[in-house]
Amino acid sequence: MIDSLATVAFSMLAGSLRVSTPFLFVSLGECLTEKSGRINLGNEGALVLGAMVAYATSYETGNPWLGVFAAALAGLCLGALHGAICSLARVNDVAMGIAFMLAGTGIAFFFGKPYVQPSAPLLPGISFGFWSDSAQVKNALLVSPLFLLGIAAALAMHWCFKSTRAGLRIRIVGDSQDAALALGLPIDRTRFLATAAGSALAGIGGAFLSLYYPGSWNEGLSSGQGLMAVALVVFARWNPINCLYASLLFGAAGALGPSLQTVGVTWGYYLFYATPYVVTLAVLIVTARGGTSLRGMPGQLSIGR
């Protein structure tokens, strides 16, 4: 019994290392955009489009890293368009985000049809399990370079928001339009850049899906992970380091079903598969308790004004 508990815990940890990366990239991207005072629900579209573009580029060029770059670029373009349209007067960023979510996935499905069958070169993993003889441990500690890149991005973004001119300017624009105007900061341009850069990160998250794990391109690849990452930013209180922890937690929750299967729990596979979604719901319910406002929320977000 204790043995199987340990196995479940271990494979949840392994699973969390394996599947948290897309959550991490999308939530970091969303965190950046929301810090500037705008919401981009279109990051789900950027994730799916990024996955498709990465896979296609890797297949055509034979270089998965070019795929990652192309995915970031695809996300950047989608985000730039979202940012530019939302800079116009009376455009609602939430509605526009939903449009971009559908547009992004639609474009990806349309151009991605020919790439469902062929197999593209994938990203290599970095092994941290060299010290162990167990194949299971070795396998679990095989970490994607993108995961490490994501951790670096979280740390860098945290430092940016604390100690750089650009980071503090983004916070000012996101938190107080009056202050930003008084300081003469370019509000629309800041939000445009933050949205574009945020979507580029979401695109990289998509590259992970198609080029590392699960490591193929099909239409059911994302299953709403980009949207969940938005909830995750709320959970993380708009703090990049918390985004990292929250992503790991969501990853572990997602690994619950497969982990239970390894110890022979065969019933309710699909039920456990839904754990991350249940966690999302629970997080939103807990954080949205009535009568109190959210701590840490950028003051200019359209849902909070």
Partner 1 sequence: MSDILETSHAIGVDSPHAIGVEAIDIGKRFGAFHALSGVSMKVRPGTVHGLLGENGAGKSTLVKCLLGYYRADEGSFLVDNHEATIERPADADALGLGMVYQHFTLVPSMTVAENLVMSRRDVPAAIDWRSELNHLADFMRSMPFKVPLHAEAGSLAAGERQKTEIVKQLYLKRRFLVLDEPTSVLTPAEADEMLGLVQELAHSGQVSIVIITHKLKEVAKFVDEVTVLRRGRFAGAGAVRDLGPADLTAMMIGEPHTPAKPERVGNATSDIRLSLNGLRTAEDNGRAGLSIDTLTVRAHEIVGIAGVSGNGQKDLVEVLGGQRPIAAGTMEVDGASYDASRAASQAHGVRVLPEEPLRNGCVPTMTVADNLALRSFDRDGTGKPISWLDRSGMAARATQMIAAFGVRAPSAQVPIGVLSGGNVQRCVLARELDGDVRLLIVANPCFGLDVKAVAETRARIVAARNAGTAVLLISEDLDEILELSDRIVVMHGGHVAAELPAEGADPQEIGRHMLGHA
Residues that bind partner 1 (CB under 8 A): 162-166, 168-169, 171-172, 175-176, 178-179, 181-184, 290-296, 298-299
Question: For residues 106 and 296, which CB has a smaller minimum distance to partner 1 in the complex?
Answer: 296
Whether omega for the bond prior to residue 214 falls within 30 degrees of 0, making it cis, is yes
Question: For residues 163 and 266, which CB has a smaller minimum distance to partner 1 in the complex?
Answer: 163
How far apart are CB 58 and partner 1 at their closest, in Å?
A: 35
Cα atoms in the 13 Å half-sphere on the side-chain side of 177? 9
- 3-class DSSP state of 302: coil
Residue type, 246: A
Question: For residues 82 and 158, which CB has a smaller minimum distance to partner 1 in the complex?
Answer: 158
How far apart are CB 238 and partner 1 at their closest, in Å?
A: 9
How far apart are CB 31 and partner 1 at their closest, in Å?
A: 14
Question: For residues 113 and 162, which CB has a smaller minimum distance to partner 1 in the complex?
Answer: 162
DSSP assignment, residue 126? E
How far apart are CB 279 and partner 1 at their closest, in Å?
A: 24
- Rounded to the nearest 10 degrees, the angle between the axes of helix 187-211 and helix 43-61 is 50
Q: For the stretch 272-292, what's the b/e string if a residue is b when 16 or more beta carbons lie within 10 angstroms of its beta carbon?
A: bebbbbebbeebeeeeeeeee
* Adjacent-strand bridge partners of 142: 127
How far apart are CB 89 and partner 1 at their closest, in Å?
A: 17
Question: For residues 82 and 171, which CB has a smaller minimum distance to partner 1 in the complex?
Answer: 171
